[in-house]
Structures are given as structure tokens and as C-alpha cells.
Structure 1
């Protein structure tokens, strides 16, 4: 049985700019709000990232999940280059907060360390 067949596979949408970084193996930490449906994501799970409205996808293996109280703590703890090697910490913080408003950030932030499975 392959690793993917044995793992729990979750599908999540990703914006094109971040999808391209994941698919190239350059983005090794995904940032998500700790929504109830993601609270049980764990090491060994597989995430299939998709670009909404397309057939494009790539699979990653979850290596580690770390919870943070907010996005600033997450970027400081994980290192901005692991989240997005093409943007500064300040740019990333602005981009993340543009996606997730303060009431979402208040739920907590998840840093999901990932490893590309399908190039």
C-alpha cells in the first residue's frame, strides 16, 4: 500500500501564486486559520491542493502541524522564507491578513509543514 493510499487525503483550495510555489517545492509551510474542520489535521495526512475552477492539483505530505495564537507569531516561529520565499515578512503578514480578517485570525493560526509528493 502506498503512503498516499494509507493516508487521509484532504482537499484544500490555494491561490495560484501559492500553488505555484508549493508545486515547485519552494513553499514548505502552509498557513491556515484553525477552523474546526482543520483542527484535527495531523502529521501523515495528505493535502491535495487545488486551484479553484481548474483541474490543477498537487499533493503534499503533512510533516508537522504547529498552532500559533496569531499570524505574526507564526511567521516568527516558522520563518517567513518557508511560508513564501518571494515576499518579505511584512508583505506576507499583509497578504495573509488580506485573506483572513481579524475575526478569523482570532481562531488561531496553523503552520502546516509540507513536503511535495507530486511534482
Structure 2
């Protein structure tokens, strides 16, 4: 059975180190990397996997519920590894909205998409 994993924030520091590691450890898995490419994301960190046929990059925001659901529909994910987050806590003091949007609402979008596609699907046993 083919496994397709959604990795969010894969162009960030942790994600861009994790993806090559995971792909080496699990060469039969397909990876879809969803990243907004903010100040923290850098696709240059993923040069070693960018041409791997099991790797797909999607530029997008986990806060975009329509996009997240469309990706679940298209790729039929079997797992999610969630690294996308606003991480500069000092910035949250003067501007908390991006942190609330990404860290709370974006995470909620992922959870809801997983619940809908994995547990509420019409043919779920």
C-alpha cells in the first residue's frame, strides 16, 4: 500500500532537515510539502530532494481551508507531520494575529481535514 504523507512547514529549519532524513529512511513514501515560504522558509534547503519523484512542493497556507481540503482530496494522505508555525515568540507581543491564525486556526484546519477525510468519509469501515 502506497503511503503519502503531508508535511507542513517543510521549508523551515526543522522541516527541511526532517524531509531528506525521512525520505532516506522511507524511500517508498510520497511526501507533499505544504509551506507558505515566509521569512523562515527556504527551498534552497531542500535541493537534495527537489527532483525526487516522491517529493512534491506546494506553496500555500495551512490557514487556507479550501487548499488544505483540496490537497487531502487529491493526495489521499495517510499521515500528517505538522511543522508549520509562527515561531518568533517575541514578535507575538506586538503582533499576535499571525500566531493565532497559523498556530491555532491553521492547526485546526489540518485536524478538521484529517477528521473529515479519515473518519467521516462515506466508505470508512
What TM-score do you get using the length of structure 1 for normalisation? 0.34
Task: Give TM-score, length-normalised by structure 2.
Answer: 0.33
The structure carrying a bigger helix percent of its residues is 2
- Greater share of residues in strand: 1
Which structure is larger by alpha-carbon Rg, 1 or 2?
2
